[in-house]
Amino acid sequence: MKILNFGSCNIDYVYRLHHIAAPGETQKSDDLQTFAGGKGLNQSVAIAKAGGRVCHAGCIGTDGDMLLHTLQENAVDTALLQRMPQKNGHAMIQVSETGENAIIVYPGTNAMIREDYVDAVLSDFSKGDILVLQNEINCLSYILSCAHQRGMTVILNPSPIQDALRSLDFHKISYMVLNEIEAVALFGGDDAQSSAAIAAEQYPNLRIVLTLGENGSVYREGSVVWHQNAFRVKAVDTTAAGDTFMGYFVAGLAKGQPIPEILRLASAAAAMAVSKEGAAPSIPYLHDVECAVDTMEEAAVRVDDIAVMRQKLEKYVSEHLKDVTLKGLAKHFNYSYFSAPGLIKKCTGLGFTPYVQSVRMARAAKLLRESDLAVAEIIEQVGYQNDSFFRRKFKEAYGKTPAQYRKKH
């Protein structure tokens, strides 16, 4: 399976300001930096850093040497890039002190793609290969139709939102990765979730991935819905957050990873990206994400969330007393098998096994007080198979045998 990203390459001029300039307002910038960027380039770099092998197609201008170098130094295949005798596309990016951004894009050579060039590029790709698209180049409809005819899996990031997107045949798209603003604009719901539901009804084969900032991300495929919590970090520059998520999502699909794991790594990578300046330079490598994600998950549970999370843990364990496992619990809460023990410890003060045992003992004590069930039935209901083991643990917890405890209560 090959990955082709047919996308933009921009030179990003990043201006740091106290706040995003309002209409009619003039502000002095505290700093100006120049980066290689563009949604296409950023996503190719993200795919490569996430462990995917990606070929980038598109047009760069006479001033595009920095862009070519950035792609190549990040192991992106640039053999299909086309050099044009015009100025490259560029973006003017305002970044506020809180890390928010506003972007103006000049398309330049990104709008000079021709159909004969598209035909030449796609001739090397076939059924099962992945095509990644954004909305910063021209000829999108033609590229999409040709890729669909070849049986390629098309993943579209419909950004920026423009009327031209509505002319695309969404039935030819396999996955769409978009934020709340984009979802509402394209599908007309009141919010991201309702817009995704409308999309699922109108396009049954379209899989939707919503990126919702501090509210995490959501994957929707028909009636199947997966949610991934956001990782909380101090935002320095949010420019590459969406592109980083997109790149890691594409690479995960190409490697055949389960959707929950793809969302987990993509979300962690995006969080790490916003903690650094720049677009492509801020995108982390897969090894760094894998090393950091477990710690990030534990840190994501804020102090004011702990009580709520403790209640959720107790509810889940209570409902699965007979068959609760660490693997099942981790899957239910969208945590990895390795980070789940830290989450439980943070919320309850106990490891997985002691915590489950404490919930089982509390349920057994309640049944002894409030029911006439035989002790053997209670033992079975709370998930123990060994009678003597249960009795020993109960006495350790309550200082009495089950019979003595029932008699006193």
Q: What pLDDT, in 10s, does the model give residues 182-211?
A: 999 999 888 888 899 899 889 999 999 999
Location of structure tokens 């991935």: 209
Query: Looking at the predicted structure, is the pLDDT value of residue 342 above 80?
Result: no
**Dist. CA 340–CA 316, nearest whole Å:** 14
Question: Residues 89-105: pLDDT tens digits?
Answer: 998 989 888 878 888 88
Asked if residue 299 has pLDDT above 70, the reply is no
Domains and CATH numbers, the chain: 3-299 (3.40.1190.20), 303-408 (1.10.10.60)
- Supply the angle between the helices 303-319 and 340-348 in degrees, to the nearest 10: 110
Annotated catalytic sites, by residue? Answer: 243
In 10 A of CB 195, how many CB atoms?
23
* Cβ within 8 Å of residue 194, ≥6 positions away: none
**Rounded CA gap, 249 and 253, in Å?**
6
Position 349 scores a pLDDT of 79
Which of 66-80, 191-205, 293-307 is the least confident region?
A: 293-307
Residues 136-180 pLDDT 10s: 999 999 999 999 999 999 999 998 888 778 889 999 999 999 999
What mean pLDDT comes out for the span 27-42? Answer: 90
- For the chain, the maximum distance between any two Cα atoms, rounded to a whole number of angstroms, is 92
pLDDT band at 279 (very low <50, low <70, confident <90, very high): confident
Is residue 52 over pLDDT 90? yes
Q: How far apart are CA 189 and CA 287, in angstroms?
A: 38
pLDDT band at 377 (very low <50, low <70, confident <90, very high): very high
- Contact (Cβ atoms closer than 8 angstroms) between residue 376 and residue 370: no
Work out the mean pLDDT of the chain and round it to a whole number: 90
The pLDDT > 70 percentage for the chain reads: 97
Predicted pLDDT at 182: 93
The answer on pLDDT for 347 being more than 70 is yes
pLDDT of amino acid 163: 78
According to the model, what pLDDT value does residue 48 have? 98
Structure pTM?
0.73
**In this prediction, what percent of the chain has a pLDDT beyond 90?**
55
Are 268 and 293 in contact by the 8 Å Cβ rule? The answer is yes
Please state the rounded mean pLDDT for residues 6-15: 92
User: Is 244 in contact with 42 (CB distance < 8 Å)?
Assistant: yes
Per the model's pLDDT, the better-predicted residue between 36 and 214 turns out to be 36
